[in-house]
Amino acid sequence: MSARNIGIVYRKELLEALRDRRTLISTILVPILLFPLLTVGVGFVIADLIEKADREPARIMILGGTDSPAIVSSLAKSKNLIVVSGPGNYVDLISNKKIRAAVEIPPGLQSGAGTDFAPMKIYMYSGDLKSTTAAKRIEDFFNEYRDNLARDRLTVQKLPASFLKPFVIKQQNVVSAEKVAGETVGGIITYLVIIMCLTGAMYPAMDLTAGEKERATMETILSSPISRTHLVLGKFLLVLTASLVTAALSVTSMGISSWVIQHFQDQSSGSAMHIKIGLGAVLAVFLVALPLAVMFSAALLTIALFAKSYKEAQSYISPLMIVVVVPAIAAMLPGIELTPRLSLVPILNVSLLCKDLIAGNYHWNSIALIFLSTCLYGGAAIFIAIKMFHRESVLFRS
């Protein structure tokens, strides 16, 4: 094994990659910009939409309520509600967004001393932000009306307000901020690392194999004295570098974006930070993801080598995304936990382990089993890649 030759190929591939706009965009620019744009950008847009919906008066319709004029009048005077009346079926009006909600006031609500009112129904357009906001405003109005009614009745009966609420219920978190992080954002970070390891390796893997065939440089390099094993290892190291750099930049970028958002939220609301992800946990995740990146890089090189052109390579590699995304997402589902059997399922095992690591749970037996099995899969993928580079039918496919 000549480390010198592998190093020569690696340095040359790195130099070419750094001069390639497409590689720089996919490896560096996208991971740096994607998360600020997604979290900060999209976050602000959504916040703006919610704020706008909150400010805007909602048109609603009252059904019934002829025997409760005071309530109807009070509702009409509510802030940000405009009561409309007129022709038209309320279902059609809501569906066509002419009104945002309608409330059906049960008979005898204002005068009734009884307790068997028909349920008050609020009709709305599920999933529509403005309709949901309008329904919430109506509900808030009637909640307040109900509370006031109950308080008046308690006063008449000379009973304290605590008569209806003898005790309060409060939830209290007892686990560390790291464990909370593991449960809440651990799955997303792991998913991100895995997907970015794959996407970061995709373009260089295609460029270094199918791209070489397309540019007719494959025969040039094969005519040099370097062995094909050294050649594939040099190329593989470059793909692995791109994979890890993309994943590292993505997580860093996401970390900074989250910190910025949380910082502004803390300043505005004064709430304390409840999530904590240690640098050690992030490094442990990368260490566990390393053999997975090895497996992705070697597998992508092998698959792309079969293609005669860059376009053909893209069509071979795209389905691989689904193969990786499914187990990566499965780890985020509630209830799926690491078992000895799942420790051997590639991708899913690393996803589940990384989630545990972020939560600060270090089960060394699982770590060893998953790390070794993934190393084994990675090694097998490199072995296959080397074998494929020795096959003339693959290199000179016509």
Partner 1 sequence: MIEARSLSKRFHDKKRGDICAVENVSFTCRPGSIYGLLGANGAGKTTTLRMLATILEPSDGTALVFGHDIVEDPEKVRASVGFLSTATALYPRLTAREMVEYFGRLNGLDEATLKKRIDDIFDRLDMNSFRDRRCDKLSTGMKQKTSIARTLVHDPPVMIFDEPTLGLDIMAARTIVAFIRECRQAGKTVILSTHVLSEVEKLCDVIGVIHNGSLLAEGTPTQLREEYQEKDLEEIFVKIVTAHVAPRAGVEVS
127 binds partner 1 (CB under 8 A): no
309 binds partner 1 (CB under 8 A): no
Kindly give, in sequence order, each residue whose CB lies less than 8 Å from that of residue 64, ignoring residues fewer than 6 positions away.
104, 105, 106, 107
User: What is the C-alpha separation between 171 and 286, in angstroms, rounded?
Assistant: 34
- DSSP per-residue string spanning 193-245: HHHHHHHHHHHHHHHTTHHHHHTT-HHHHHTSSS-HHHHHHHHHHHHHHHHHH
User: What is the C-alpha separation between 389 and 305, in angstroms, rounded?
Assistant: 8
Among 155, 224, 265, 318, binds partner 1 (CB under 8 A): 224
Among 74, 132, 227, 314, binds partner 1 (CB under 8 A): 227
Interior angle at CA 65, CA 60 and CA 67, nearest 5: 155
1 binds partner 1 (CB under 8 A): no
Interior angle at CA 185, CA 179 and CA 186, nearest 5: 65
Among 1, 113, 156, 216, binds partner 1 (CB under 8 A): 216
Distance of closest approach, residue 229 Cβ to partner 1, in angstroms? 11
308 binds partner 1 (CB under 8 A): no
- From residue 17 to residue 56, the character string flagging contacts with partner 1 as x (rule: CB under 8 A) and all else as - is --xx------------------------------------
Residue with tokens 């990368």: 286
User: What is the C-alpha separation between 383 and 303, in angstroms, rounded?
Assistant: 13
209 binds partner 1 (CB under 8 A): no
Among 95, 148, 220, 339, binds partner 1 (CB under 8 A): 220
226 binds partner 1 (CB under 8 A): yes
Distance of closest approach, residue 310 Cβ to partner 1, in angstroms? 13
Is 231:9 a contact under the CB 8 Å cutoff?
Answer: yes
Sole window of 9-17, 44-52, 110-118, 157-165 interacting with partner 1 (rule: CB under 8 A): 9-17
Sole window of 152-160, 191-199, 280-288, 389-397 interacting with partner 1 (rule: CB under 8 A): 389-397
Is 289:247 a contact under the CB 8 Å cutoff?
Answer: yes
Positions that interact with partner 1 (CB under 8 A)? 5, 8-9, 12, 15-16, 19-20, 215-217, 219-220, 222-227, 392-393, 396
